[in-house]
Amino acid sequence: MRSDLLLILALSLSTAVPRLLPAFLGDRFQPPEAFRRWLDAVPFAALGALIFPGILSADPSTPLTGLAAGAAALAASLLRAPAYGAAIASVLAAALVQALH
Amino acid sequence: MPQSAFHHFRQGLKASFPVVVGYLPIAFSFGLVSHEGGLPWWAAGLMSLIVYTGAGQFAALSMLGMGTPMPEIVAAVLFMNLRHIVMNLALLPKLAIRSLGLRSLVALGVTDETFAVSLFSADEEVLTTAGMLGLNLGAWSSWWMGSLVGAWAAGLVPKGLNDAMAVMLYGLFIGLLVPAVRGKSRGLVIALGAMAVNLAARQVLAPGWALVAAILLGAGLTFLLPEKAEEAKDAL
């Protein structure tokens, strides 16, 4: 419980500092263009890295669960389901694989 | 609060409506999955209250689930949130707020969604100090309230689905990534590149640091890709 609290406090600093920095920098400071370009790419890189290869070990007993879940989420989002629709599809696919496995 | 400021605040609060509708199901999912990851309900609520970052909170949950130590989690979330520097650098000068306290309060509320709404709202009254406070209050409240409700509802999930819930985060990440890269090969290449870096880095680094390396280097791929005119719009 104490470690949860510590983690949350540390995380709140890691989101507050980037948000607050510009408030202290003043209105005329602008970051270099290369930094902006790199920042624009960060969300794509973060999502990609969060998905793979972690998804393969979501179920420690078999990578099939993660593969099926990933395929279901991919299909749902290609069909333009909202993000939580893809999440629900992945859970249902995983439950199906686990029932059959 | 003077009459006009109160009016701006209300306009801001109204403008938060589409953001609230978008946040509630995601916040609800966060509460639900945080229970799965072993976080107590109050921790899920507190995280949404004072960390207040969508993808970053889910990333933290996912890393907690892998048993990642704290420094790696904090580093990954920090890099994921550096983009808010650029957003606030663009937003704050438009408001020209003198008081550092007020500037900080507005700055703390920025998210990808509130940033987009504030700059593109047809209602100019939203892009005022009071308007931003209203917009931020609506978005932020829906985020932590939705999380608390989700954490509470986690107890209602049927037993048979409990194990399958472990994949929910990945489904959500895919559900966020696919629309973001639709018709945007640049984003897709960066995401796939980050996956490859992550896979390779895991051979030599702990999974948490491999993720951090994949974010830093994967995003760096942007310098190898040709620049296109569409990017001006992508920057949001």
Per-residue model confidence as pLDDT tens digits over B118-143: 988 878 899 999 999 999 999 999 99
B187 and chain A: CB distance < 8 Å anywhere?
yes
A27 and chain B: CB distance < 8 Å anywhere?
yes
pLDDT at B235 over 50: no
pLDDT in tens, B176-224: 999 999 988 999 999 999 999 999 999 999 999 999 999 999 999 999 9
Tokens of B63: 């890393």
pLDDT at B236 over 50: no
**Touching A: B residues 115-154, CB under 8 Å:** none
CA distance to A13, A25, B169, per residue, from B221 (Å): 28, 29, 25
* Structure ipTM over 0.95, yes or no: no
**Domains of chain B by residue range:** 3-160, 183-234
pLDDT-derived band of residue B162, with 50, 70 and 90 as boundaries?
Answer: confident
Which residues does chain A have with pLDDT short of 50?
Answer: none
**Domains of chain A by residue range:** 2-100
Chosen for mutation from B26, B174, B228 (greatest number of chain A CBs closer than 10 Å) is: B174
Q: What is the DSSP letter of A53?
A: T
Contact list in A for residue B231 (CB cut-off 8 A) is: 40
What pLDDT sits at residue B165? Answer: 84
Q: Tell me which residue of B149, B141, B144 sits closest to B12, measured CA to CA.
A: B141
Across the interface, whether the CB atoms of A82 and B175 are under 8 A apart is answered yes
Q: Using N-to-C axis directions, what is the helix angle for B129-153 and B41-50, rounded to 10°?
A: 160
Q: Which residues contact B227 (CB under 8 A, 6 or more apart)?
A: none
pLDDT at B73 over 90: yes
The DSSP result for B36-93, as a single string, is: HTT--HHHHHHHHHHT--HHHHHHHHHHHHTT--HHHHHHHHHHHHTHHHHHHHHHHH
Instruction: State the Cα–Cα distance between residues A72 and A78, nearest whole angstrom.
Output: 10
